[in-house]
């Protein structure tokens, strides 16, 4: 994971998002929780790779998701209500 500073914002890039065999970007949309935090921090736009590996740019105010990370999906199996 690589962290860089842009102005007063930290940007984190996960180098594990590349399929080393095909060298293609994997789907990297922010999860619901991360998107909520991104909005709280006041970001205007976000960029990530879509399901086809293409980089897409979205206005945070217009973007919505129900995406869950792999870890979130695994943990939800163990939660009993």
pLDDT tens for 20-68 read: 565 677 788 898 888 999 999 999 999 988 888 888 999 999 999 888 8
Asked if residue 81 is part of any domain, the answer here is no
Counting the structural domains of the chain, the total is 1
Distance CA 37, CA 26 (A): 22
* Residue-range definition of the domain harbouring residue 30: 2-76
Residue 37, pLDDT score: 93
Asked if residue 12 is part of any domain, the answer here is yes
Asked if residue 31 is part of any domain, the answer here is yes
Distance CA 60, CA 25 (A): 21
CB atoms inside a 10 Å sphere around CB 35:
20
Asked if residue 8 is part of any domain, the answer here is yes
Asked if residue 38 is part of any domain, the answer here is yes
> Does pLDDT of 77 surpass 60?
yes
Residue 32, pLDDT score: 87
Residue 79, pLDDT score: 66
> Does pLDDT of 8 surpass 80?
no
């Amino acid at each position: 994971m690589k962290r860089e500073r842009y102005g007063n914002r930290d940007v984190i890039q996960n180098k594990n998002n590349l399929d080393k065999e095909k060298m293609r970007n994997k789907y990297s949309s922010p999860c619901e929780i991360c998107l909520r935090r991104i909005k709280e921090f006041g970001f205007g736009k976000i960029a990530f790779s879509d399901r086809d590996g293409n980089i897409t740019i979205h206005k945070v105010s217009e973007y919505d998701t129900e995406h869950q990370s792999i870890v979130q999906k695994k943990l939800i199996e163990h939660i009993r209500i």
